[in-house]
Amino acid sequence: PVTLTNTSTTVPLAISSINVSANFTVDMSKTTCGASLAAGKSCTIDVAFSPTTTGSLTGTLTVDDSTSSGSQTVSLSGAGLTTVQYVQDVMVTQVESLGLNHGQTRSLVKQLLDAAKLISEGKINGAIGNLEQFIAEVNDLAGSGNLTQQQATTLIGEANAVIKSLE
72 vs 65: CA distance, rounded Å: 7
Angle made by CA atoms 57, 63, 66, in degrees to the nearest 5: 160
Contact at 8 Å (CB) between 13 and 66?
yes
Which tens digit of pLDDT belongs to each residue from 74-127?
Answer: 999 998 878 888 888 889 999 999 999 999 999 999 999 999 999 989 999 999
Per-residue model confidence as pLDDT tens digits over 42-70: 999 999 988 878 889 999 999 999 999 99
Look at residue 83 in the predicted model and tell me its pLDDT: 83
- Check residue 158 and report its DSSP letter: H
Q: What is the pLDDT of residue 53?
A: 80
Q: Is the pLDDT of residue 27 over 80?
A: yes
- What is the DSSP code string of 51-111? -SSSEEEEEEEEEEESSTTSEEEEEEEEEE--HHHIIIIIIHHHHHTS---HHHHHHHHHH
- The closest of 77, 5, 82 to 43, measured between CA atoms, is 5
pTM equals 0.61
Q: Does the pLDDT of residue 13 top 90, yes or no?
A: yes
**Which pLDDT score is estimated for 66?**
95
